Amino acid sequence: MPPSARDFVKSTAGPVWSDAVDRPRRRIPEATVARLPLYLRTLTELQAEQVTNVSSERLAEHAGVNAAKVRKDLSFLGSYGTRGVGYDVEYLLFQMSRELGLTQNWPVVIVGIGNLGAALANYGGFGDRGYPVAALVDTDPTKVGRVVSGHTVHHLDELPRMVADYGIAIGVIATPAETAQEVADILVAAGVTSILNFAPAVVSVPPEASLRKVDLALELQILSFYRQRESSAALLDGADSTELVADRSITSA
């Protein structure tokens, strides 16, 4: 039986459990990593509903995947379930939070305070989930000095200092496409190895850094591709609706 989780959960900051670090630590497949936050969210919801135990099947249902996948995914974290019973919600939540690095804060800098950047700065969803917006930077002289969502916009040149001062861990690129690569280089040079790119541009980073992208235009084009196929298939086939263009979206690269 797993050690009761309420022993750990309280620990907000202290590296009290850091000795739990010596687990197997196998390599976790990328596809699995991308689903962990999904399970985390589900577990959080279940905990809020006072559910203390959950089966892979129930978890799967909530997360919108199949049960075998859940079991395999969770098995990469360790053997945290109990055969015949299921998973202890609180304990699994603790293990997963630790694995996802949610036991600490990861301050964020937003680069590019235009429409999107400002919206992101105002978007509350970051801070209360462990990703406080710690700094805003831009190069536009008309924007530098302004206050957006309680933060003064600084010049991009000050970024290295701010990274050091605020312990910034994540950089969000919300600039136009043309400057995205340049900004990424500056972020990496300043020691920010985690980057989330909103600019519609291909950005590359050295292997020690991680980059994720969010590209609205791209998502819309993918949708219209399928929509397009649908319509023209209908034209070609007459009214054959069973010829499905199986698109199980989800995922992003």
Q: Around 115, how many Cα atoms within 13 Å sit in the side-chain half-sphere?
A: 3
- Rounded Cα–Cα distance for residues 99 and 33 (Å): 10
| Residue 87 C-beta: closest distance to a second copy, Å | 18
Nearer to a second copy, 18 or 82 (CB): 18
Q: Name which of a second copy, DNA, none residue 210 binds, using a CB cut-off of 5 to 8 Å depending on partner kind.
A: a second copy
Name the 3-class secondary structure at 40: helix
Asked whether position 40 contacts DNA by CB under 7 A, the answer is no
Asked whether position 61 contacts DNA by CB under 7 A, the answer is no
Nearer to DNA, 69 or 151 (CB): 69
- Rounded Cα–Cα distance for residues 57 and 48 (Å): 19
Nearer to DNA, 67 or 201 (CB): 67
- Pull the structure tokens for residue 75: 């098995």
- What DSSP line would sit under 120-142, residue for residue? HHH-TTTGGGT--EEEEEES-TT
Asked whether position 231 contacts DNA by CB under 7 A, the answer is no
Phi and psi (nearest 5°) for 190?
A: -80, 0
| Residue 155 C-beta: closest distance to DNA, Å | 38
Among 43, 74, 118, 133, binds DNA (CB under 7 A): 74
Residue ranges with strand state E in the chain:
53-54, 81-82, 86-88, 108-111, 133-138, 147-148, 151-155, 170-173, 194-197, 210-213
Q: Name which of DNA, a second copy, none residue 87 binds, using a CB cut-off of 5 to 8 Å depending on partner kind.
A: DNA
Among 14, 48, 50, 84, binds DNA (CB under 7 A): 84
| Residue 226 C-beta: closest distance to a second copy, Å | 4
Binding to DNA in span 7-36, by CB under 7 A:
29-32
Residues making contact with DNA (CB under 7 A)? 1, 29-32, 54-57, 65-69, 71-72, 74-75, 79-87
